[in-house]
Amino acid sequence: MATIVASVPAPKLRGSGDWRNALFVAPYLFVFLVMLVIPLAMGMWLSTTKSDLFGTERWVGLANFVRLFGDAIFLQTVANTFIFVLLTVPFLTLAGLGLALVLNRQERWAAVLRTIFFASTVLSVTVVTLVWRLVFLPDGGLLGVTAEALGKTPIAFLNDEKLAMPAIAVTTIWWCIGLPMVLFLAALQQVPRGLYEAAALDNASRWTTLTRITLPAIRRTFFLVIIIEVILQFQLFGQAQLMTLGGPNNATRPIVLFIYETGWRQWELGYAAAAAQVLFAMILIAAMIQYRISSRREVA
């Protein structure tokens, strides 16, 4: 009896095992703290101070935030950012899903089209905006030449307060459509083929197959794409900076461009940090709302 008891290995302490597991995430945790948490905390502190590039003058509490919400230009940048998100995110999501449904095939032409649609995503914002400026220019641009050929007057899209933001939205959709398409393609390829074979045996229509099998199977990816695109499009900067400089009459000036100009041209770092905190809160609230909606549907 004594021999049997001695051969049983001693139980390992739970605490020591947990600490060894924690070592695997320690490098990521270190980078997360240094690159995200600490800069975020410093930004929050900076937003409560009157600071410039030469240092902090004094602590002002919430004065920067009070000033922000009385600043007509900042409020317009908030409205511009929301309009841009509404113009781009629904179309990127639905168009990405549509492309994925059409190109989810093994044929060579589908592979070529997938490559073409994704190719725009790897281009830099400078190249993308240069290409689309040549499209929107009224004098010698693609749309201008086409309008003249049809006997119409060319439209200066980027100089029109009502058309400039839709023009930037079109540019962004062309640039970013590859990412949602790829995510939806990956999700579609995970749907079990047996479900489609059973639907075919039941003579289910394409609409029934789409709404009863495909869409429920990829709903998690659907919400993931929306969250990713909302976070990305709230950070509009390069397109507005390079195509319109925020004009005409601030019609295309987004929050990030406001932060850049306030911090690095007017040297009001505290004020710019406060605007950055407002943008962070907007993105966080939007992401949490979508996460809550998707979680409730998962439970239901």
Sign of CA dihedral 241, 244, 248, 251: negative
What Cα–Cα distance (Å) separates residue 193 from each residue in 50, 110, 209, 217? 61, 19, 12, 12
Q: In whole angstroms, what is the distance from residue 252 CA to residue 238 CA?
A: 12
Q: In whole angstroms, what is the distance from residue 74 CA to residue 68 CA?
A: 6
Q: Tell me, what's the pLDDT at 300? A: 60
Q: Tell me, what's the pLDDT at 193? A: 87
46-53, long-range: CB < 8 A, 24+ apart: 46/269, 46/270, 46/273, 47/270, 47/273, 47/274, 47/276, 47/277, 48/270, 48/274, 49/270, 50/270, 51/268, 51/269, 51/270, 51/273, 52/267, 52/268, 52/269, 53/267, 53/269
Low-confidence ranges of the chain (pLDDT < 50): 1-6
User: pLDDT for 22-74, tens place per residue?
Assistant: 788 888 889 999 988 999 899 999 999 998 888 888 888 899 999 999 999 99
User: pLDDT for 244-268, tens place per residue?
Assistant: 998 888 999 999 999 999 998 889 9
> Measured between alpha carbons, how far apart are the two ends of the chain, in Å?
55
What are the boundaries of each domain within the chain? 41-126+158-296
Amino acid making up residue 126: T
Residues 6+ apart with CB under 8 A from 59: 48, 49, 50
Q: How many CA atoms lie within 13 A of 159 on its CB side?
A: 6
Chain-centroid distance of CA 269 in Å reads 25
Is residue 96 within 8 A of residue 183, CB to CB? The reply is: yes
DSSP class per residue in 187-231: HHTTS-HHHHHHHHHTT--HHHHIIIIIHHHTHHHHHHHHHHHHH
Q: Tell me, what's the pLDDT at 70? A: 92
**CATH class of the region 41-126+158-296:** mainly alpha
Q: Tell me, what's the pLDDT at 259? A: 94
Name 59's bridge partners.
Answer: 49
Q: Tell me, what's the pLDDT at 298? A: 62
Q: Which of 270, 254, 269, 256 is nearest to 62 (CA)?
A: 270
Residues 6+ apart with CB under 8 A from 246: 240, 252, 253, 254, 257, 261
Q: Tell me, what's the pLDDT at 64? A: 93
What Cα–Cα distance (Å) separates residue 192 from each residue in 33, 187, 188, 198, 202? 40, 11, 9, 11, 16
Q: Tell me, what's the pLDDT at 4? A: 47
